[in-house]
Amino acid sequence: MECVVQGIIETQHVEALEILLQGICGVHRDRLRVHEICLKNNPNLGNVASEVRLLCDLELPEPTWTVKHLGGAMRGAGAEQISVLVRSMVESKVSKNALRLFNALGYKLDHELLRVGFAFHFQRGAQITVTVSSVNKMLKLHATDEAVPVTPGIQLVEVTAPASSENYTEVASAVSSFCEYLAPLLHLSKPGVSTGVVPTAAAAAVSLMSDDFPRTQPE
User: Between the CA of residue 7 and those of 108, 168, 169, what are the distances in Å?
Assistant: 29, 21, 21
Per-residue binding letters, 170-189, with ligand NAG (x by CB under 6 A): xx------------------
Residue 162 near ligand NAG by CB under 6 A: yes
Write out the DSSP string of the chain. -EEEEEEEEEGGGHHHHHHHHHHHH-S--EEEEEEEEEEEEPP-TT----EEEEEEETTSSS--EEEEEEEEEP-SHHHHHSSSEEEEEEEEEE-TTHHHHHHHTTEEEEEEEEEEEEEEEEESSSEEEEEEEEEEEESSTT-GGGEEESSTTEEEEEEEEE--TTTHHHHHHHHHHHHHHHTTT---BSTT------TTHHHHHHHHHHHHHHHHS--
Smallest distance from ligand NAG to CB 91, Å: 12
Residue 86 near ligand NAG by CB under 6 A: no
Choices 22-30, 35-43, 159-167, 190-198 (CB under 6 A): range interacting with ligand NAG: 159-167
Quick one: 66 or 144, whose CB is closer to ligand NAG?
66
Choices 22-30, 43-51, 166-174, 198-206 (CB under 6 A): range interacting with ligand NAG: 166-174
Out of 14, 126, 186, 198, the residue judged to bind ligand NAG by CB under 6 A: 126
Q: What whole-number distance in Å separates Cα of residue 156 and Cα of residue 8? A: 5
Choices 15-23, 136-144, 162-170, 206-214 (CB under 6 A): range interacting with ligand NAG: 162-170
Smallest distance from ligand NAG to CB 162, Å: 4
Residue 11 near ligand NAG by CB under 6 A: no
Quick one: 163 or 205, whose CB is closer to ligand NAG?
163
Out of 163, 172, 182, 204, the residue judged to bind ligand NAG by CB under 6 A: 163
Binding stretches for ligand NAG (CB under 6 A): 126-127, 162-164, 167, 170-171
